Amino acid sequence: MKLAVYISIIGMSLLSCKHNRTNGQNNKKEDLMVSQKHELKYTKEQDIKSALSYLKTKSYQVPNDNVFRNIILEKFQIDIDTAFYMPSSISYTREKFEEVGLTPFLNKSDSPVLYAKAYRGNKFITPLIYDWHDSYYSDRTAFKDFPRERKEVLYHFNNWLFYEDKASFTFLKVKKPHTFMYMIHDYAYTGNDEYTSFILKNLGEEREAQEDINEMVMGWVAEKKRYGLRKNVVEKIIELQPDLVFNIGMIVSDFEEYTVKSKERDQFYTYETEEQKLEDFSYLMNVLVDQGMVGILDELYNENPMVLGLLKKNDFYGYKDLKEYSLKAYGQTPYDEENPKPVYEMAVINDPDGYTNVRNKNGEVIFKIQDGEEFMVSKSKKEIIGEFYKEGWWYVSFKGQKGWIHKSRVKINN
């Protein structure tokens, strides 16, 4: 989601630059007047003082230095003592009003996407108002003129963030969920199960939900200082919302869409090396095996056999379940150009008996597939699927077992 935002903002910036070159001279005088009027109306220092005064009227307990530092380190994965400072263009005492942009991957202020900001001297954080759209002070309105609800958002966000206050958490869930949804998206925060469950249960529908899962699972990894897989998020999804494992499978299906940096492509949302990418995806593949979703893995292997070859070369990065399934289903030699693997489709049985027999090349029954069980079936021609081939019989792969089933007993899933 933020990648799309990033690209859109760059485009708009280019158009804006062109417009400014044409009209810049005409607007300078007017901009100066507006700026002077704005500076007379309020200053950042006044806003910060007003915000802190308001928090104190709400009986907000200002955290001490250690609490402030440790909570930001825990929940944002940022060291507030070494983070990039963002001083206002309006002068103020640096020691008292240090504004720090909580930017996860750059740790500086030139990101085209907005993030929360921390104020070291006063020990509070301003959240975003509508996801990435608006920072807390973005509309140039003095804090004292903010509507009541917007002021309450500041109080409840800090009260929940530093003290996990349940009443504040309830307020944010009902009134402004976007003010803390980005905690898991941008910072992979899963330290509170109640928070994480709420986010996972309110993802929206289909495509929107998939985009959210992509952004949660794949993003900036603070401990590695690079883009990659967030295992803690995957573990929480499996624990708290296992039905979303399918969405994790869709990430594996999009293996080729996750790019690696190059001369032509050097973005924040890319891997640094192919090996980093493969190692991360091997973890996700192992999750699919453990969760019984091997159909997606089969599809990847058949569409991109080199993936299986590279996994074998790297001993499946130590993931035993992935290794056991892959070698059992595809043999010790993962790819043979002269005998490529069949191309499968997902299917279920079409049999009034409620089950269908699967046979070997001699016609002997070797296992059964029950009604409702999904399996992989190949309609490929003889030269694709090997020596044994009979007209009207299709090749089946089911839970690591292989055999033949008559096409009259198969219903292809669309």
In a domain, 54, yes or no: yes
Residues 209 and 279 in one domain: yes
Q: What is the pLDDT of residues 283-325, one digit of tens each?
A: 999 999 999 888 888 888 877 778 888 898 899 999 999 999 9
User: Which one-letter amino acid corresponds to residue 397?
Assistant: S
Burial of 154 (0-12, 13-18, 19+ CB in 10 A): buried
Range with the largest mean pLDDT of 101-105, 109-113, 143-147: 143-147
In a domain, 30, yes or no: no
**CA separation for the pair 341, 333 (Å, rounded):** 11
Residues 181 and 197 in one domain: no
Q: Which residue has the higher pLDDT, 177 or 131?
A: 177
Domain end (from 170, 187, 204): 187
Residues 6+ apart with CB under 8 A from 207: none
Q: What is the pLDDT of residues 123-154, one digit of tens each?
A: 999 887 654 345 566 556 788 888 898 899 99
Strands, E, within 230-374: which ranges?
345-349, 355-359, 365-370
What's the structural domain count of the chain? Answer: 3
Domain end (from 303, 330, 357): 330
CA atoms within 13 A on the CB side of 326: 31
In a domain, 336, yes or no: no
Question: In angstroms, what CA-CA distances link 69 with 36, 154, 382?
Answer: 36, 19, 66
Mean pLDDT, rounded, of the chain: 78
